């Protein structure tokens, strides 16, 4: 009986972890899509009011400035590819690292971005919300 209960407990915790991983991956994908095609509702759903959004240029925006830049077209992602993604969930906090390659059209100026990104997510009421983001430019090969 004890081994049965242990098996059920372990299976339950694995399932919960897998659900958390899937939920986190879905949140990252939803953010990627919202950066390309932003709406106020999508951005509000994915981010915390206390958001700190750091750019590779050193600019750090709060939630309002981050959303305004996307919604106004000052920051305009045409396409975004995420690669080399790793994640770690610790309780209700998670970090995600990935490489972001994007085609941009910021303020009508075509460009590209190649960044290493760190995202910090917090799970609130079963939903992952972005608390912080920091990007650095991908170093050129020597």
| pLDDT at site 94 | 98
| pLDDT at site 1 | 59
Find the distance separating the first CA and the last CA of the chain, reported in whole Å: 61
Alpha-carbon distance of 123 to 115, in angstroms, equals: 25
Decide if 45 is inside a domain.
yes
Cα distances (Å, whole numbers) of residue 126 to 24, 26, 37, 50: 10, 13, 24, 18
| pLDDT at site 139 | 79
Decide if 142 is inside a domain.
no
Kind of pairing between the strands at 127-137 and 47-54: parallel
pTM listed for this prediction:
0.84
Contact 40, 71 (CB under 8 A): yes
| pLDDT at site 17 | 54
| pLDDT at site 39 | 98
Beta carbons within 10 angstroms of residue 45's beta carbon: 14
Residue 26 maps to which CATH number?
A: 3.10.450.50
Decide if 6 is inside a domain.
yes
Beta carbons within 10 angstroms of residue 13's beta carbon: 10
pLDDT along the chain (142 residues), means of 10: 51 54 94 98 98 97 98 96 97 97 95 97 96 92 60
Q: What's the total number of domains in the chain?
A: 1
Provide the domain limits for residue 119: 2-137
């Amino acid at each position: 009986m004890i081994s049965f209960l242990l098996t059920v407990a372990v299976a339950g915790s694995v399932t919960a972890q897998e659900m958390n991983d899937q939920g986190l991956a879905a949140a990252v994908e939803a953010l990627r899509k919202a950066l390309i095609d932003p709406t106020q509702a999508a951005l509000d759903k994915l981010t915390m009011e206390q958001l700190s959004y750091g750019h590779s240029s050193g600019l750090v925006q709060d939630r309002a400035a981050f959303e305004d830049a996307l919604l106004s077209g000052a920051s305009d992602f045409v396409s975004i590819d995420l690669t080399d993604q790793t994640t770690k969930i610790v309780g209700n906090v998670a970090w995600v690292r990935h490489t972001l390659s994007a085609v941009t059209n910021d303020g009508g100026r075509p460009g590209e971005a190649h960044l290493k990104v760190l995202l910090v997510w917090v799970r609130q009421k079963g939903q992952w919300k972005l608390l912080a983001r920091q990007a650095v430019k991908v170093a050129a090969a020597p």
